[in-house]
């Protein structure tokens, strides 16, 4: 589809400036092994990397799962599947539909190199001919003037459509309890409206909140979702709708702050995913420790069909898709930056 077959070992392109360095993988166009320079000899590596990354035993997994970690684009931003414990407001919406492969062509297939310099790469991926999306262009640039990566995603459409889109940075949770502090302002926050398997949730299904520091708890009362990780294995998701500024992730022990900034006119929301040692099935094995800070225009990570059609979020005016057209590409710009604290 994209000039070469997906394999367990992707092509890699290294980029570096005096302030930032990383590898870009052809699989999923993934930003991997990113490091940020915050002082003489002080490099911070904030992102997660799966213990099984690149294992030949996992070669049958979808692309993004073979190399889970770093940052990668998702179009559609969608998974879905059977759910239980669905809250009443969502029972007519969640039909168990699944998007395959999870998170779409962009996150799973092989991207081709268009251009590269020492500091930047440009990649392209073509979509199947029956898809409303024709192709994507992804650029990743190591900034010269700051510990940052400047990224862009161009969405070139074959026909008019509305599609769920997301970005998928994953911060490592392999840190002391409470060492990560999240800061975000948003119009409304929603807890996942069903059981997040394997039912090791912190939050109350279907809960609503206005501050990450006060989220309805699974066991009652309120919890502080802005301080992570917790001691116990956890699997949980919340969605922040109409985010009002960049999201900050403070790594207290490292005295460093990761700032996730993006064009919120295109992706107005953010999904916060805590995947911390709870999943035991293959390939997880209770080993993964990741915090997704995921800019999105979607309805959680439910199937493509759920985001495209009537759902409780878009009923409240929170858009769950991006409009695309062959007349002009959608160009999404975003930035991952680290600063000292």
Closest C-alpha to 71, from 4, 138, 6: 138
* Inside any domain, residue 58: yes
Burial class (CB in 10 A: 0-12, 13-18, 19+), 134: middle
Q: What is the 3-state secondary structure (H, E, C) of 72-111?
A: CEECCCCCECCCCCCCHHHCCCCCCCECCCCCHHHHHCEC
Q: Which domain holds residue 150?
A: 12-340
Q: Tens digits of per-residue pLDDT, 25-41? A: 999 999 999 999 998 88
Kindly report the CATH number assigned to the domain that includes residue 62. 2.70.98.10
pLDDT in tens, 274-318: 999 999 999 999 999 999 999 999 999 999 999 999 999 999 999
Token readout for 286 is 């209770």
Report in angstroms the alpha-carbon separations of 13 from 51, 139, 181, 244, 287. Answer: 21, 12, 32, 34, 27
> Which helix (DSSP H) or strand (DSSP E) does residue 170 occupy?
strand 170-172
Flag whether 1 is in a domain. no
> CB-hemisphere CA count at 13 Å for 8?
10
pLDDT score of 3 more than 50: no
3 found inside a domain: no
pLDDT in tens, 101-157: 999 999 999 999 999 999 999 999 999 999 999 999 999 999 999 999 999 999 999
Tell me how many domains the chain contains: 1
């Amino acid at each position: 589809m994209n000039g070469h077959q997906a394999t367990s070992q992707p092509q890699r392109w290294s980029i570096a400036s005096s302030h930032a360095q990383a590898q870009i993988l052809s699989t999923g166009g993934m930003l991997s092994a990113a490091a940020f320079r915050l002082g003489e000899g002080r490099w911070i590596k904030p992102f997660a990397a799966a213990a099984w990354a690149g294992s030949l035993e996992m070669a049958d997994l979808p692309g993004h799962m073979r190399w889970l970690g770093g940052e990668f684009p998702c179009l559609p931003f969608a998974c879905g599947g059977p759910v239980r414990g669905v809250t009443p407001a969502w029972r007519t919406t969640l039909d168990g539909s699944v998007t395959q492969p999870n998170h779409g062509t962009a996150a799973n297939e092989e991207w081709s190199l268009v251009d590269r310099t020492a500091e930047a790469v440009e990649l392209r991926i073509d979509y199947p001919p029956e898809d409303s999306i024709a192709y994507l262009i992804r650029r990743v640039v190591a900034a010269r003037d700051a510990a940052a990566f400047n990224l862009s995603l161009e969405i070139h459409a074959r026909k008019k459509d509305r599609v769920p889109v997301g970005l998928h940075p994953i911060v490592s949770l392999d840190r002391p309890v409470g060492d990560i502090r999240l800061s975000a302002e948003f119009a409304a926050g929603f807890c996942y409206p069903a059981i997040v398997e394997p039912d090791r949730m912190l939050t109350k299904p279907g809960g609503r909140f206005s501050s990450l520091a006060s989220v309805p708890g699974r066991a009652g009362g309120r919890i502080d979702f802005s301080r992570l990780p917790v001691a116990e294995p956890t699997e949980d998701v919340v969605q922040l709708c109409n985010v009002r500024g960049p999201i900050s992730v403070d790594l207290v022990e490292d005295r460093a702050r990761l700032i996730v900034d993006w064009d919120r006119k295109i992706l107005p929301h953010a999904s916060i995913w805590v995947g911390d040692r709870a999943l035991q099935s293959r390939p997880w094995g209770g080993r993964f420790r990741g915090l997704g800070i995921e800019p999105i225009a979607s309805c959680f990570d439910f199937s493509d069909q759920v985001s495209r059609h009537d759902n409780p979020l878009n009923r409240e005016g929170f858009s769950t898709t991006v409009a695309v057209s062959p007349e002009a590409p959608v160009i999404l710009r975003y930035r991952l930056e680290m600063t000292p604290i």
